[in-house]
């Protein structure tokens, strides 16, 4: 291939810039012209292309967000939108596309590949909800951001003898809550994958208080509150306080988890995945998703990758219960 493009699509994640940099520099290293597409699939439809040179990705490896910006694009889901994108791709003589995003974006990559434009997906989403890869770009950074907040919350609630519900992101996957919970020493972890019993949590709180514990942190994945409004952080904290008499606060971390300098892990993952995606395209291979499995960078057919169910790590969850006795 002589001309390829790179897109970031769906929700942003720290490390997307490191992935763009890896794609651009690996392409240039291999004498492939590389174009950045603005605002996700919108840029494909509306011809928002810019040729990227080595310097265009300078000074971004450490920055959160995405210099290409990102967006959702419903138009791309329609045959008409797809047709418009194909015309633009043809005009620019683009022979392959790298799409950095979540599983929705990979469906777009699959459509492009089906219509003769080899496309490769790179998983980037803080939720870590993509089944085909052990980790997606952005997850590690988001967990570290949550951890930093948990440490600070622990300081203040210990001073007052309070409990605190910390709501973290995670629509359908509780990985941020699980990992931040284990690493932050949370007493309870509530995730969308598992049912929970508020009375058990209250019993844990009361037991802890009797043993002289001064703080109690409950990690809550946002998806739990989406599924049932009465389980939103504020409502849950009111219920727990009413049942135990222990002052319980709610803190919703929100979008701070989406930003910030990517961690070492995310920068390395993004660098390895970006280079692998370009290697695939340079061999004319598309319709693949780049994955991290057992610390090896591999690739899978998009359809197969999308069919792999995301597994919740029950072992880690059980460990969290043992360590928080």
66 contributes a contact to ligand ATP by CB under 6 A: no
Please identify, using beta-carbon distances, which residue of 162 and 288 lies nearer to ligand ATP. Answer: 288
Structure tokens at 169: 């992101």
Applying CB under 6 A, the span of 101-109, 147-155, 174-182, 184-192 interacting with ligand ATP comes to 101-109
Structure tokens at 191: 């995730």
Given strand 296-301, what is the order of strands in its sheet?
49-51, 33-37, 3-8, 96-101, 119-123, 288-293, 296-301
* In contact, 188 and 240? CB cutoff 8 Å: no
Sequence-ordered strand ranges (E) for 179-310: 188-190, 216-221, 248-252, 288-293, 296-301
Figure out which of the listed residues 7, 89, 98, 111 binds ligand ATP, where binding follows CB under 6 A.
111
43 contributes a contact to ligand ATP by CB under 6 A: no
Applying CB under 6 A, the span of 9-17, 154-162, 188-196, 252-260 interacting with ligand ATP comes to 9-17
308 contributes a contact to ligand ATP by CB under 6 A: no
Distance in Å, CB of 175 to ligand ATP, minimum:
13
Figure out which of the listed residues 61, 73, 97, 269 binds ligand ATP, where binding follows CB under 6 A.
73
Distance in Å, CB of 149 to ligand ATP, minimum:
21
170 contributes a contact to ligand ATP by CB under 6 A: no
Distance in Å, CB of 45 to ligand ATP, minimum:
9
Tokens 């951001």 appear where? 145
Name residues whose C-beta falls within 8 Å of residue 252's C-beta, 6 or more positions apart in sequence: 167, 222, 233
> Please, which residues bridge with residue 218 across strands?
165, 188
Binding footprint of ligand ATP on the chain (CB under 6 A):
9-11, 40-41, 72-73, 76-77, 101-105, 107-108, 111, 125
């Amino acid at each position: 291939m002589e001309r390829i493009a790179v897109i970031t699509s769906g929700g942003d994640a720290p490390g997307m810039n490191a992935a763009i940099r890896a794609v651009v520099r690996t392409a240039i290293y291999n004498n492939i012209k590389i174009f950045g597409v603005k605002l996700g699939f919108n840029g494909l439809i509306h011809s928002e292309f810019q040729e990227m040179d080595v310097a265009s990705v300078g000074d971004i490896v450490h920055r959160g967000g995405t210099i290409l910006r990102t967006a959702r694009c419903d138009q791309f889901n329609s045959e008409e939108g797809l047709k418009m994108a194909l015309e633009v791709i043809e005009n620019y003589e683009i022979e392959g596309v790298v799409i950095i995003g979540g599983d929705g974006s990979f469906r777009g990559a699959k459509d492009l590949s089906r219509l003769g434009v080899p496309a490769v997906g790179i998983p980037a989403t803080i939720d870590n909800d993509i089944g085909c890869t052990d980790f997606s770009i952005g997850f590690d950074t988001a967990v570290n951001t949550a951890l930093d907040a948990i440490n600070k919350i622990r300081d203040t609630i210990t001073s007052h003898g309070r409990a605190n519900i910390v709501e973290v992101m995670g629509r359908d996957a509780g990985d941020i809550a699980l990992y931040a919970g284990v690493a932050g020493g949370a007493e309870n972890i509530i995730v969308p994958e598992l049912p929970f019993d508020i009375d058990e949590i209250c019993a844990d709180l009361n037991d802890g208080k009797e043993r002289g514990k001064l703080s109690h942190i409950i990690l809550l994945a946002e998806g739990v509150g989406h599924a049932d409004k009465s389980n939103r952080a504020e409502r849950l904290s009111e219920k727990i306080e009413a049942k135990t008499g222990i002052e319980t606060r709610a803190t919703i971390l929100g979008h701070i988890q989406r930003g910030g300098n990517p961690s070492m892990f995310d920068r390395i993952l993004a660098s390895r995945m970006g280079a692998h995606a370009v290697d695939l395209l340079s061999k004319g291979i598309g319709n693949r998703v780049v994955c991290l499995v057992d610390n090896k960078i591999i690739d899978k057919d998009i359809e197969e990758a999308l069919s792999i169910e995301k597994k919740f790590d029950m072992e880690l969850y059980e460990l969290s219960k043992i360590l928080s006795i």
